[in-house]
Each structure stands twice: as structure tokens, then as C-alpha cells.
Amino acid sequence: MPLTVKRLGNLIGAELIGLDLTQSLDEATVAEVRRAWLDNLVLVIRGQDITPAQHVAFSERLGDPERGNALSHYNHPEHAEILMVTNHMINGKPSETRNTGRQWHSDLSYTLRPPMGSILHAREIPEVGGDTMFSNMYAAYETLSPAMQAFLDPLQAVHDFMNSKDMARRDPVTVEAMKQRTPPVAQPVVRVHPETGRRALYVHEAATTHIEGLTPEESRAILDFLFRHCETHEHIYRHRWQLHDIVMWDNRCVSHIALFDYSHSSPRHMLRTTLIGTPSGSVRSRGTPADLRAVAAG
């Protein structure tokens, strides 16, 4: 069956129709999927009742899945490539991934090989709610004035795993271990996509603490403006999940947020693979808590 691409948004998002991930894919089909992904940034593949092993196999056709990062203690017990984003109980305790992604972010931007993409499979969804929104970061950059583009192009911003509000809801011992494994990383404020050559904004509220070379007040003002600008409705696709949806997004040019518009009394169980990207960024030392609060407060 030939593949059909059905656009879901004006600037971002498309449904890929005709793909069956329970079957092996030939090289031509994989090339079609990759082309549709690059063109649309977010792809939705409906009705994929697949096993975790099939999820991993599909991911491996598109890239090299991540197998160890700051969240690897929530990996699937039989598949290290899969992160469980779930509100199921884990070892008798509420899962610490149940509130993951409540701020706009690009996955693992605080690493030296930030992901090329993420592939999320909906195994259980709430009765209502649980939407995810995606923002086109090409468009966010391209709709800035030429003067602002020229100002931002050479700048670096620091991304710190510890900046996320989610850290306050996690076990302190686990957070400390994650902190030691994950130092801050400076990334380009404007990142050039390694495959398309297009420029995209690469800052987000969950991890970006400050822009290097600016005062805290200047940095806060610029980042607050950019965060709001990236949330412009015209840049966004909002996905309403159906059971066994696969949604895949390009982290190099997409920011996203998981909306908490549902109750944890309703199960939500999602499995995510994350594809390793090209090297980017450089390590920075972490400031004291007082330093970070000063930057955040401006």
C-alpha cells in the first residue's frame, strides 16, 4: 500500500497513512518516512498496536536509539532503548515520569549529543485530556526580525537539567545522582539543522537558564520574549492522542509540551525511544543555587 501524507497543521504536523509497523519495512519505505518527517517535523502514525521490540526495530531503521541518560532508571525492564513515561506505580511508588514534560522543551538538550528525534507510542491514554503540543522552531526563528536574527545567531545559551520545575517533585536522592551525571551544557541559541540546513531557535523554558555574555537582566528579558514567541499559535500543532498512536518529532527543530489536562486516576502509559543526534554544545560548570536563582529571577 503506498504511503499518504495528510497535513494536520499549516506549519507543522502530518499524518502518515498506509504504514504497518508490525511488518518489516524496505529501504524505499524508510526513505519515504524520513522525507515526510523532515518535511513536516511531526509525524502521526495511527493504529500501531506494536510490541516494544517492534517499536525499537522501527526506531533503529531511522537512527541509533539512546540507551542511557539521566532518566535511564525509568527505562523499560526488557528494552533499554525505551523510556517509560507513565503514571503507573513503579516498585510500589508513584512514577517520577508521571509529570514529565509539563514545560516547553526539546528532549535532552542539556547533553552533548542532543537527540535528532523522539518516537512516542501511546499504550494507555486518559479518558479525556493528555494532549501534547508541538512548536515549529524554524518558524519561530524565521518570523523574527532580521536585526533580532543577526543578534541571536552567534550567541550560546546554557541548558541545565536541574532547571526543570519537575525536579522539585522528584526523590531528592535520585535528583542528586542525576545532577552529578548531567552537568550544564552551552548550546547555540540558533541551531543549524544538520540535514536541512535551515536555522531554528534552540532555547526552551524547561532547561535554558541564561544566555552567555549578557547580564542576568538582559538574558531574562531576551529569553522571556523568545519563550513567548515560540508559543505563537501559528507555529503550533496540538495532538489529541488516540490509543496506539505513534508520534515522532524532530528535536532539532521542534519544541513540545505535555499538557496536564487530565487526572492521574486515569492511566497514561507511553513508551518513548530517543534517537541520538550529532555532537553539539560544550560543558559548563554549574553555579550555586543562589547564582541560578539570580539568573532565573533577573
CB 161 within 8 A of CB 178: yes
Q: Which residues pair with 119 in a beta bridge?
A: 248, 273
| Three-class SS state of 51 | coil
Of the candidates 48, 39, 16, which has an alpha carbon nearest to the alpha carbon of residue 29?
A: 16
Cell of 76: 523499560
Give me the active site residues, please: 105, 107, 256, 272
Task: For 67-101, give the secondary structure using H, E and C.
Answer: CCCCCHHHEECCEEEEEEEECCEECCEECCCCCCC
CB 31 within 8 A of CB 40: no
Pairing verdict, β 254-258 and 185-188: unpaired
What is the rounded distance in angstroms from the CA atom of residue 252 to the CA atom of residue 233?
20
